[in-house]
Amino acid sequence: MSWQQKIEQSLQQRHAAVTYRTRQLNQGSTGRCLRIDNQSYINFSSNDYLGLSHDKSVIAAWRKGSRCYGVGSGGSGHITGYMQPHAELEQQLADWLAYPRALLFISGYAANQALLASLTAAGDRILADRLSHASLLEAAVNSAAQLRRFHHNQPDALQRLLDKPCDGQTLVITEGIFSMDGDSAPLSQLQAQTIAAGGWLLVDDAHGIGTRGEQGRGSCWQQKIKPELLVITFGKAFGLSGAAVLCQHEVAEYLLQFARHLIYSTAMPPAQACALQAALIRIQQGDDLRDRLQQRIKQFRHGAANLSLGLGRSDSAIQPLWVGDNQSALELVHNLRKRGLWLTAIRPPTVPLNTARLRITLSAAHQASDIDDLLEALNAIDR
């Protein structure tokens, strides 16, 4: 088969399975709303849970940072790309979450790839919740270690895997709040099991950081655990992008030696590190934003409880509505968009077969009337 034939065949298969993906040009976003095809919508598809992507203090910090440091870091952190704003931000993150060290990464995807590639070796095993993010599962598949997945949020299933013998090291992986279902992991239970088995725990708290726990410290703080490896990302509640790994001093030094995503990649722009510092302050002082988000979540769940579409068990900003087949999910999305509501259908292979869903994300940027509009539309379509 030629390159051309191979590519065309893959595209046709995607079309046939109704899983073909396209991007939509967003002509202007305010956090709460977006514009597509010259049409304005309320945005229920954004991970900007606290509305910080448009926060004045964060924008001002980015401006000031770019005036002081320019817009690019100019190189890998190992060469000349590690500057004062990066160092300050790492220290602030470590202090905030009570870890000895924090290391910045350009994205959560890169952080997860780097961690698994550099830490695990042949003979080790990775035991991951089967709904873990693609950046974790892919990295685990590509690693030299053996990957075993356990049933979502089921400590018993993890225990059965832990009970099997392993000569190498064990790394247990879960998320704080799961990105597609919005539910939380039983972290203290998972941590106790992992410790008892002599393994390490990695928690990816992309969706919990900023939204959960005292001062927004996330799922682990809320559930009173401190995993050996905590990954936080800045593309969600922080309203920016990038990520950090929180860990022990020696682990940070190890990653600086062996994590190729750090060594061979340009460090994040220093102005972005300045903006992240401002976002961190807003998050630490953000009880008002977290309260608003919780109100929206309560309002939505109360109003959606009687829909025939299944409401998930989530109490987070991520609220899935189960649909089942791909075609119905797409039709539902189409209907909602006609009413000025922007939602996304999540389909396999992102989620398991026949679990297509609407993934509704709520934000402190939403007004109560936005949630009313959404509920009214869902009820009208449901009938």
Would you count residue 200 as binding ligand PLP (CB under 6 A)?
no
The site that binds ligand PLP (CB under 6 A) totals a number of residues, namely 15
Whole-angstrom Cα distance, residue 150 to residue 159?
9
Q: Which residue in the list 236, 314, 316, 373 is annotated as catalytic?
A: 236
b (16+ CB within 10 A) / e for 137-155: bebbeebebebbbbebbeb
Q: Which tokens is 96 given?
A: 């905030």
Distance between CA atoms of 170 and 142, rounded to whole angstroms?
Answer: 16
Cβ count near 121 (within 10 Å):
12
Active site residue 328: no
**Closer CB to ligand PLP, 261 or 290, in the complex:** 261
Min. distance of Cβ 130 from ligand PLP in angstroms? 14
Distance CA 36, CA 341 (A): 11
Residue of 34, 59, 92 whose CA lies nearest to 280: 92
What length is written for the chain?
Answer: 383
49 is a contact residue toward ligand PLP (CB under 6 A): no
179 is catalytic: yes
**Sequence-ordered list of residues with C-beta below 8 angstroms from that of 288, at least 6 positions apart, any chain:** none
Does the annotation count 47 as an active-site position?
Answer: yes
Determine, following the binding rule CB under 6 A, whether residue 314 of this chain makes contact with ligand PLP.
Answer: no
174 binds ligand PLP, rule: CB under 6 A: no
Residue 135 or 355 having the CB closest to ligand PLP? 135
| Residue 250 beta carbon to ligand PLP: minimum distance, rounded to whole angstroms | 24
Is position 135 an interface residue for ligand PLP (rule: CB under 6 A)? Answer: yes
Identify whether 175 is a catalytic site residue. Answer: yes
**How many helices (H) and strands (E) are present in the chain, helices listed first?**
14, 14
Strand-pair partners of 246: 102, 230
Q: Is the peptide bond before 349 cis (omega within 30 degrees of 0)?
A: yes
Set 48, 129, 175, 205: catalytic member: 175
182 binds ligand PLP (CB under 6 A): no
- Say which of 43, 129, 183, 207 is annotated catalytic: 207
- Say which of 124, 181, 183, 204 is annotated catalytic: 204
Residue of the chain from 211, 219, 233, 316 that contacts ligand PLP (CB under 6 A) = 233
Which residue ranges make up the site for ligand PLP (CB under 6 A)?
Answer: 107-109, 112, 133, 135, 175, 179, 204, 206-207, 233, 235, 241, 243
The residues that are catalytic are 47, 133, 175, 179, 204, 207, 236
